[in-house]
A and B are shown apart, each in its own frame.
Chain A
Amino acid sequence: MIETLNFLIFDNLIYILAIVLGVILTVAYLTYFERKVIAFMHVRMGPNRVGPRGLLQPFADVLKLLTKEIIFPKNANKFLFLIAPIITLATAFAAWAVVPFQDGWVLADINAGLVYVLAMTSLGVYGVIIAGWASNSKYALLGALRSAAQIVSYEIAMGFALVGVLVAAGTLNLSDIVRAQEGGLINWYVWPLLPLFVIYYISGVAETNRAPFDVAEGESEIVAGFHVEYSGAAFALFFLGEYANMIIISALTAIMFLGGWYSPFTGDSWIAQPSIFWFLGKTSIFLYAFFWFRASLPRYRYDQIMRLGWKVFIPITIVWIMVVAVMKVYHIGPWWN
């Protein structure tokens, strides 16, 4: 019994620490990467002062944010005001528990992994709503309402896209979904589920409130949306949560549509071996696309966002689920032989 408890507490604690530290470090350098990518797209230099090539810039930013004062707005609800960023961060990290990095490299290999991820990402909206309400500010409340409506709407399209993956793989376990895509580029689900792949990724961008769907922040209309009243460490937590969510959306897209840890090549050479580097590489592609969108697309108008979600994405996903079901029943292609 003692051994079981020891295992439960210490071994898992080490895994959890490894994942959390990894995600935090990735977030730190993701901000640097974002600024560099956008700078190159704008023909600028980007951060280049702190450390060699500006590589220490993220740490300078973190130190700055942590040493700043947290200001409580007048008549703000202090408890909820403080707990909102914590909720955002906690749900963003909790979803990482079921992500398989490589065959067997997963903290909790649960059968309902896909539903768990969907549940955790949908909880992130509480951080936004509570922050908007507790700030006692009209801009924050407007931002929170926009964000809540947007996340709830896009969650439906996202859920339907995941139903397509579920039909294709026949399991909710993320590791098994990856294993079902074994055997080179052509076996990945991105081909039979192409519309669902595109919709899932775009819904993911909308769900994380990133450009071009960042009306929840909309600095030209409502200053900075739900986190307008936040400063210092509380703001840093929101920031961390948003970027951790971006990473998890990218990682899930890689797992469900691009074969996770499998190599695109077939054969016995070293390049065809499945490894965590393939998974990280695929995730990075989607992270880069986040910044690419941000640098090149103008912000959507609010009614257009709603129209895209409800009238375009949801019908397409419903139709494509039927198509996938038919393809699966008749064993079409290399995917369902």
Chain B
Amino acid sequence: MIISPELFQQIIFYVFATLTVGSAMAVVSVKNTIYSALFLVLCFFNTAILWMLIEAEFLAITLVLVYVGAVMVLFLFVVMMLDIKQAKASQLKQSYTKAALLIAAAMLVELLMLFGYKLSGQIPVNELVRQEQGYSNVAEVGMELFTRYVYPFEIAAVILLVAIVAAIMLTMRKREGNKQMDAAKQININPAERMRVVSMPAEKGQSQINRQNNGEDS
């Protein structure tokens, strides 16, 4: 059996696209929060594979590194700490249905518009631009980010920094009975300030006293 490279790529695409959609659906439909988070991890992974297929390997690996390796770890961390009870079907139905429907409708319209544009030929329908072997994705991304898009990039970085500082400020609070230690103080302690050496005459041990008493009795 001969499989052409294009067909092979298509098969890979459909397998992983199905997995992506399936795991994304599972994120919202399973009842266990831990499973939800793990399905989200699976979804990110499959998205990374899809990106790899369009030869965006740097972005794919970064997606795994940032979202799977850092963000989702903290997510799981919080979910495990909070000990959320398994949501009941009735709870799920009433709370966010309207908002969810609205968002789903908006996305459906967007998708339909995209298909419409593609059918009417307003976006290029030809295949992906293939670069020759040895083309460095990383270098290109870096070059674009730091030359053409340097201002948006730096502004985004500053906004993120502000967000970090704000998050720390919001969560930092002094509690009563906080036993935080100052490392500098711990290192610089002077034994003479804490300890007093008392010199006193040796006491007689209990055994000696007993022996003396016994001796007197006999």
Whether A115 touches B77, Cβ cut-off 8 Å, given contacts A1-B5, A122-B69, A126-B41, is no
Give per-residue flags for B46-89: 1 if the beta carbon is below 8 A from chain A beta carbons, else 0. 00000000000110011011001110011011001100000000
Q: How far is the CA of A324 from the CA of B170 in the complex (A)?
A: 35
**Residues of B participating in the A interface, judged by any CB pair closer than 8 Å:** 2-5, 34, 38, 41, 57-58, 61-62, 64-65, 68-70, 73-74, 76-77, 80-81, 136-139, 181, 183
Tell which of B61, B70, B76, B139 touches A155, judged by Cβ atoms closer than 8 Å.
B70
Query: A1-28: which have CB < 8 Å to B?
Result: 1-2, 4-5
Residue of A nearest to B66 (CB): A119
Tell which of A1, A119, A130, A133 touches B2, judged by Cβ atoms closer than 8 Å.
A1
A1 x B80 contact (CB < 8 A): no
Tell which of A2, A123, A151 touches B68, judged by Cβ atoms closer than 8 Å.
A123
Give per-residue flags for A138-152: 1 if the beta carbon is below 8 A from chain B beta carbons, else 0. 000100110011011
B69 x A111 contact (CB < 8 A): no
Tell which of A112, A118, A129, A307 touches B183, judged by Cβ atoms closer than 8 Å.
A307
The 8 A-B pairs with the shortest beta carbon distances in the complex, nearest first, are A122-B69, A119-B65, A119-B64, A112-B58, A115-B61, A111-B136, A116-B61, A112-B61
Q: How far is the CA of A84 from the CA of B137 in the complex (A)?
A: 33
Q: How far is the CA of A151 from the CA of B2 in the complex (A)?
A: 46
Query: A253-310: which have CB < 8 Å to B?
Result: 303-304, 307
Tell which of A111, A125, A172, A303 touches B73, judged by Cβ atoms closer than 8 Å.
A125
Interface size class of A (residues with CB under 8 A): 20 to 34
Quick check: is A194 within 8 A (CB to CB) of the other chain? Answer: no
For residue A140, give the distance in angstroms from its CB to the closest CB of chain B: 11
- B73 contact set on A, CB distance < 8 A: 122, 125-126, 129, 148, 151-152
- B70 contact set on A, CB distance < 8 A: 122, 152, 155
- B183 contact set on A, CB distance < 8 A: 304, 307
B58 x A111 contact (CB < 8 A): yes
For residue B108, give the distance in angstroms from its CB to the closest CB of chain A: 33
Q: How far is the CA of A155 from the CA of B74 in the complex (A)?
A: 13
B2 x A145 contact (CB < 8 A): no
Q: How far is the CA of A212 from the CA of B136 in the complex (A)?
A: 40
- B5 contact set on A, CB distance < 8 A: 1, 4
For residue A305, give the distance in angstroms from its CB to the closest CB of chain B: 12
5 interchain pairs, CB-CB under 8 A: A111-B136, A115-B65, A119-B62, A119-B69, A123-B64
- B69 contact set on A, CB distance < 8 A: 118-119, 122-123, 125, 155
Tell which of A111, A304, A307 touches B137, judged by Cβ atoms closer than 8 Å.
A111
Quick check: is A110 within 8 A (CB to CB) of the other chain? Answer: yes
Query: A93-118: which have CB < 8 Å to B?
Result: 110-112, 115-116, 118
Q: How far is the CA of A190 from the CA of B58 in the complex (A)?
A: 27
Whether A111 touches B138, Cβ cut-off 8 Å, given contacts A1-B2, A125-B73, A303-B181, is yes
A2 x B2 contact (CB < 8 A): yes
- A115 contact set on B, CB distance < 8 A: 58, 61-62, 65, 138
A133 x B57 contact (CB < 8 A): no
Residue of A nearest to B60 (CB): A112
